Structure 1
């Protein structure tokens, strides 16, 4: 994997770049649709390519390990072959999912013992095994196994958790260095910065992660309930330490405002379930503001969902029709809304990139946030 930094905004830390993988190029800043179990919910691969114009999608180690399982994935030739997506894929290590199990997992130095949320069966994730699983999945970018501490937590818990993550990272790096990809394409390991909302820990973690000299770096443990101001403060600290020559990935973020603020602080990559999850609940992000399609005001509005956004779905279907589908609980309502919201998110980061390249990102950002986050 290669990263080319193409331009940095003169008034902010915003960056435009290009990541090159064996499955194609990714222009940054970028938003990555979440395909937890090998699919972006309700969205065909063709729609991801042609309507959403996604450049990279996510899979999740925990969920894919449980279903369909490693045997099926390896027989298929990896996730790219299994789901028909021939562009880059990133896999989350499953750390967040395992640690969200709470009562049915046990953290040790060795790894994490947990019970499947599906059938209660017992499993052990070690850093080495998580690397092996991601080799089988075959993603272009793979994540180190980390502990994501809860929010809030005290300084001592966050400190111990951070050091455990660092020790696990060394084991992840060792395993990757002594094994080979299974399907002929390279896999880039991203370590994850932790430290909760404590400045001294974030500095220490970012310095350690940077010292590992991996192809890219991720920032975890944010957008887990802390105030947005704390998230931005930690992000500014961490991005000031992580090397400029490598992509920076803020995990699990977020709203359009979060993403634009994150870009301004020097972040390159984002993912979040929000566009599809909110779509299933009737919330649409548009170039004019946020729509709750369940509101009565849309029942006789026959204008397109978002004419300015372009694309078939957003310009063909009317707000009135989508409200009708939503009220009737038709599956098509969630599909239309999901495709639309994902297209919006890819449009958003594309617009940010255009303004970085044009040199007016700092002027554009506050106006965009004010417009895009208003409720219609």
Structure 2
């Protein structure tokens, strides 16, 4: 694994991440959220041609505690071969974004507590690394003891100590022949002192990069900004930085501005599951033209949408023969209409989720592409201000008011 930063703009950095499989991922970049190695609704054959940047996936070892278990994955030759995605990158992250889990609650000194398909289980470093080693991932995140923002200071200190201890154990259990592929987790909840202590101690370990854990567990946007900036000043600039637990476009821009490189986000999945399609503009120069062809704010409100998304369940789209987003080049927008997807949703056809996830994933990857373009032109500050002001003017709920 190799990582290089090419240029900076207003705190954001443009780089490239070379994974073990020979795949180069441009950063800031998005890992596709998966369940057992594949996106929730997109089959492998459609994933191959979804988007040029749809080549790196986030997978959680928690999904492989029962079936298929680590032994099955190892016999298949690793996760890439098991799911028939040998040309893709796989990043193992110890957080299950598709479940409503309370990671950290009930953690013991033996391991972290996670919600699984067979109930809550305590997973320690040995079991965790058994699954990770079976995966043969391109990158993997060490086992964290993440806690929500409301825990007591004593419990928070303990989570930092445990995460560091588990990092050392995980590093001792990784096969030497694979090289250094570990991202050490930085935790600390809402305590700035504990976040800094965690970052400083993790930076002394032999890790390939860092994963900022414990976000999206109750902190507000202002707290997150202060913590990210303080933590990142303590980490080596030449190593890659990943974060879990955030996903709204404004949150992504906040993290990119702080210097984060790699993201995994539940946002496209949750929109797809709810029957929504992303529609927010991606280009500062063409934004007014796209708005002129879209429904007004009042029309969107009546249909249950806003300037960021439209609700395809709404009767407002029953006879709408336009694509989800005019000018979008994804498979869904090139081949199908809003009316057709509205019909599929309301007749409970599985194809509805497949077409929506294709579009939502494509649109979000285009969002990251636009971010990288703004950094390349040294206009990230302008892009961020334009994007957030556009959302505020159009009445899109802020991250503190809505998780969609």
Tell whether the structures are fold-level matches, with TM greater than 0.5: yes
Structure 2 segments unaligned to the other structure (5+ residues): 282-307, 397-404
Deviations 1:140-190, CA, capped at 9 Å, x for gaps: 1111111111232122211111111111111112222xx345xxx656101
Q: 1:13 pairs with 8, 11, 14, which one? A: 11
Q: Is the 8 A contact 2:186 2:212 kept in 1?
A: yes
Of 305-314 and 17-26, more deviation after overlay is shown by: 305-314
Q: Match of 2:6, SS?
A: strand
State the distance in 2 between where 1:123 and 1:41 align: 23
Q: Is the 8 A contact 1:134 1:142 kept in 2?
A: yes
How many angstroms does 1:339 deviate by? Answer: 0.9
Structure 1 segments unaligned to the other structure (5+ residues): none
TM-score by length of 2: 0.84
Q: Match of 1:307, SS?
A: coil
State the distance in 1 between where 2:140 and 2:103 align: 24
Q: CA RMSD in A?
A: 2.5
Q: Is the 8 A contact 2:64 2:131 kept in 1?
A: no
How many angstroms does 1:94 deviate by? Answer: 5.0
State the distance in 2 between where 1:44 and 1:248 align: 29
Q: Match of 1:248, SS?
A: strand
State the distance in 2 between where 1:213 and 1:371 align: 43
Q: 1:357 pairs with 348, 365, 376, which one? A: 376
* Residue in 2 that maps onto 1:41: 40
* Residue in 1 that maps onto 2:213: 220
Deviations 1:87-121, CA, capped at 9 Å, x for gaps: 11001135889993679x8533333477x74345x
* Residue in 2 that maps onto 1:128: 126
Q: Match of 1:8, SS?
A: strand
Q: Match of 2:82, SS?
A: helix
Deviations 1:270-294, CA, capped at 9 Å, x for gaps: 1122201221211221244321222
Q: Is the 8 A contact 1:307 1:315 kept in 2?
A: no
2:78 pairs with 1:59: no
How many angstroms does 1:255 deviate by? Answer: 0.8
2:336 pairs with 1:317: yes
CA shift in 2, pair 1:101/1:7, >3 Å: closer
How many angstroms does 1:128 deviate by? Answer: 3.0
Q: 1:300 pairs with 310, 314, 319, which one? A: 319
Of 40-49 and 218-227, more deviation after overlay is shown by: 40-49
2:148 pairs with 1:155: no
Q: Match of 1:190, SS?
A: strand
Q: Match of 1:6, SS?
A: strand
Segments of 4+ in structure 1 off by > 6 A? Answer: 95-99
Q: Match of 2:33, SS?
A: coil
2:73 pairs with 1:80: no
Q: Match of 2:332, SS?
A: helix
Q: Match of 1:264, SS?
A: helix
State the distance in 2 between where 1:254 and 1:84 align: 27
2:259 pairs with 1:266: yes
